[in-house]
Amino acid sequence: MKRRSLIAASGAAILAVAFGRPALADATITGIKSSGTIKVGLGTFVPWAFPNKDGKLVGFEVDVATKLSQDLGVKLELVPTAWDAIIPSLIAGKYDVIIGGLTITDERAKTVDFTIPYEHSQVYALVNKKVAPNITKLEQLNDPSVTFAARRGSSASPNDFFPKAQVLFFDDENTQQQEFLNGNVTAISVATPSQALIQEEHPDIVLILEPSIQHTDEAFAIHKGDPETLAAFNDWIKKQTDSGWLQERFDYWFKGREWKDQVAG
């Protein structure tokens, strides 16, 4: 329903772009083409976007932003940003668009406009087996004795699913995961494919609880009230979805592991 409603809302604007009607003077897409550069805000976490061993940003979101800039015929400037500042920094004009696995939520939609989804995720709860060897079911996490490590600025807090549990918030995913692996908390909640990656690296510590606790849709985020830019990005996402390019890159980064040797130690 979200996808259909977003497409319907921007359908007229997409046709306007397709038939060559000029963009509004204040449209972000116009500024991007005039300046010759698109500035993209994103967080850094594997495998969405992360520095490889040479210090270069790589990942699914980097591939998406790179392809978009190439198709627009402009240069790409990536702006890594702390996750809890990702939307405020967009509003402040530090970049043109967020392409960073940002989940569509009603709360976020009050301050930004979302495109149609370009990726989809599942969120899983992970338990540290050494800290809580007796926890094997999701319902056991809803207890005051359980402490989660969560990433500040995430679309959902573990308390949304386990209201009795305690939650500690951290600024980045690496710190969140390290607290979990060090045994300082009982559990974490992470989006695919992070749950599989963490378990592969630490099979003696990590237990993935089934089923997933949340399904999410991710989209580009832009300034509110910019139908021309929204239409242009929606049109691009639809074309890359129909061509299979988005699925191919998604499968490479989220289902395969060919890229693991790029992760800095």
pLDDT tens-digit map of 213-236: 999 999 999 999 999 999 999 999
**9 pLDDT higher than 80:** no
Give the pLDDT confidence of 31-85 residue by residue, as tens digits. Answer: 999 999 999 999 999 999 999 999 999 999 999 999 999 999 999 999 999 999 9
pLDDT of residue 54: 93
224, two tokens: 């509110």
Please report the pLDDT score of residue 78 as a whole number.
98
- The answer on pLDDT for 6 being more than 50 is no
Residue 95 has pLDDT above 60, yes or no: yes
Mean pLDDT across 12-17: 38
Structure tokens at 177: 């995961």
pTM of the predicted protein model: 0.84
Range of lowest pLDDT (38-42, 90-94, 140-144, 258-262)? 258-262
- pLDDT at residue number 11: 40
Mean pLDDT for all residues in the chain = 90
Compute the C-alpha angle 129/192/254, nearest 5°: 125
Q: Where in the chain is the domain with CATH 3.40.190.10?
A: 2-118+219-262, 121-215
Q: What are phi and psi of 222, to 5 degrees?
A: -135, 175
Residue 265 CA to residue 263 CA, distance in Å, equals: 6
The predicted pLDDT at position 215 comes to: 95
Q: Quick one: 162 exposed, middle or buried, by C-beta within 10 A (0-12, 13-18, 19+)?
A: buried
Cis peptide before 144 (omega within 30 of 0): no
Range 14-28 average pLDDT: 47
**What is the predicted pLDDT for the residue at 251?**
96
Q: How confident is the model at residue 24 (pLDDT cuts 50, 70, 90)?
A: very low
pLDDT over threshold 90, residue 8: no
Of 264, 228, 242, the closest CA to residue 18 belongs to 228
Q: How far apart are CA 35 and CA 76, in angstroms?
A: 11
Do residues 187 and 128 make contact, with C-beta atoms less than 8 angstroms apart?
Answer: yes
* Window from 70-74, 115-119, 142-146, 194-198 with minimum mean pLDDT: 194-198
Place of tokens 């977003």: 6
**The CATH number of the domain covering residues in 2-118+219-262:** 3.40.190.10
CA nearest to 228, candidates 25, 3, 8: 25
Beta sheet of 75-80, edge-to-edge order: 75-80, 37-42, 97-98, 221-223, 112-114
- 121-215: what fold? D-Maltodextrin-Binding Protein; domain 2 (3.40.190)
Radius of gyration of the chain (CA): 19
Q: What is the dihedral of CA 68, 70, 75, 76, to 10 degrees?
A: 40
Q: Specify the pLDDT at position 240.
A: 98
Q: Kindly tell me if the per-residue pLDDT of 23 is higher than 60.
A: no
